[in-house]
Amino acid sequence: MTRSEFQFIDSLRQRFGAEIGDDAAIFSSTAEKETVITTDLLVEDIDFRRTTAPPLLLGHKALAVSLSDIAAMGARPRWSLVSIGVPDDVWQTGFVDQFYEGHAGIASRYDVRLIGGDTSRTTEQIVIDSIVVGECNIGQAVKRCAAVPGDQIFVTGSLGGAAAGLRLIERGAHLAEQKLDDDDSQKIDHVLLRQLRPEPRVGWGMVLGEERLATAMIDVSDGLSSDLNHLCTASGVGALIESSLLPIDQQVVELCGRRALDPLQLALHGGEDFELLFTVRPENVTRLPRRVDGTQITRIGEVLLHTDGVRISEGSRIWELNPGGWKHF
């Protein structure tokens, strides 16, 4: 059996003593601040398709995925760098300009400053590496490793939208050229944008970090099932989540019926929703704000002992929740 991406990262950690494994790396050289840094590599035809991801939205998404990592550390994003490699024919077009325009749009909304990067030529495919540096007060960064049994498990926003969007794109759907009153097209645009223009939960990340409300946190990038397992493994705990509590995107539910798609599968294993999955001590649950930046949170389960495994209940039945999300290898 070939080694998975996650096994490889484990091997790096063991060989080099690297503190790898959170959404972002933490380093600090002063007594006041912790700096967190994350990098996300996006490769054409693996992570996006040129034909379906408009460059403006790609610029947005490249930064959004990294902002989501910084949010998952409970930190404030501050600075950004972009390395971009494109083939000659793409360089001749407006692609790179539109990419940076999209990047600048979301950067300015979150007050993130573009400070550098690199450009390179490639032979065929577009590659993008997005780097974001954030910061928080010393000891405030939220890792994956500190959830304890009894903690309540929460997730921001809704799940399944990005995966539904990807399925529809694979079936040939495009963003509507103009606003249509047609109810179905609006739902389709909604899930396409969840895939193509994800909104990182930057505000929630900062609140949870600053108020020290989350014991552990991760962003839902690989898929809830995978990311919950990552968090539980790092913390050495188990978990039980309840299927009926999952905030499945309502528009996904409505779109799925006629398309032979299962909303629960999309919500559990779909990935790229870029919501925050976090754990909270029971006594702190009442201190949680109801909304941040218009986004609600939902309690979906509880942290258990490691020996309880990571499971999901549906009515009276309980299953193992195995990681079923995105893996590169």
- Contacts with a copy of itself, residue ranges (CB under 8 A): 2, 5, 8-9, 11-12, 15-16, 18-20, 22, 24-27, 29-30, 32-33, 35, 37-47, 78-79, 81, 83-85, 88, 91-92, 96-97, 100, 104, 113-125, 127, 129, 131, 133, 135, 328-329
Q: For the CB of residue 72, give the shortest distance to a copy of itself in the complex, in Å.
A: 13
Q: For the CB of residue 113, give the shortest distance to a copy of itself in the complex, in Å.
A: 7
User: Nearer Cβ to a copy of itself, position 94 or 282?
Assistant: 94
Q: For the CB of residue 65, give the shortest distance to a copy of itself in the complex, in Å.
A: 10
User: Nearer Cβ to a copy of itself, position 4 or 186?
Assistant: 4
User: Nearer Cβ to a copy of itself, position 24 or 300?
Assistant: 24
Q: For the CB of residue 23, give the shortest distance to a copy of itself in the complex, in Å.
A: 9
DSSP 243-276: GGG--B-HHHHHHHGGGT--HHHHHHH------E
* Euclidean distance between CA atoms 176 and 174, whole angstroms: 6
* Euclidean distance between CA atoms 199 and 197, whole angstroms: 7
Residues facing residue 133 across a β-bridge: 37, 79
Q: For the CB of residue 49, give the shortest distance to a copy of itself in the complex, in Å.
A: 11
User: Nearer Cβ to a copy of itself, position 115 or 305?
Assistant: 115
User: Nearer Cβ to a copy of itself, position 81 or 253?
Assistant: 81
User: Nearer Cβ to a copy of itself, position 100 or 278?
Assistant: 100
User: Nearer Cβ to a copy of itself, position 43 or 145?
Assistant: 43
Q: CA neighbours within 13 Å on the CB side: how many for 91? A: 12
* Euclidean distance between CA atoms 275 and 129, whole angstroms: 21
User: Quick one: tokens of 255?
Assistant: 């779109």
* Residues 6 or more apart whose Cβ sits within 8 Å of residue 298: 154, 155, 245, 246, 247
Q: For the CB of residue 96, give the shortest distance to a copy of itself in the complex, in Å.
A: 7
**Unique residue bearing structure tokens 């398309």:** 259
Residue 208 gets the label, from left (phi > 0), alpha (psi -120 to 50) or beta, of alpha
DSSP 3-61: PPHHHHHHHHHHHH-----SSSEEE-SSSSEEEEEEEEEEEBTTTB-TTTS-HHHHHHH
Q: For the CB of residue 271, give the shortest distance to a copy of itself in the complex, in Å.
A: 14
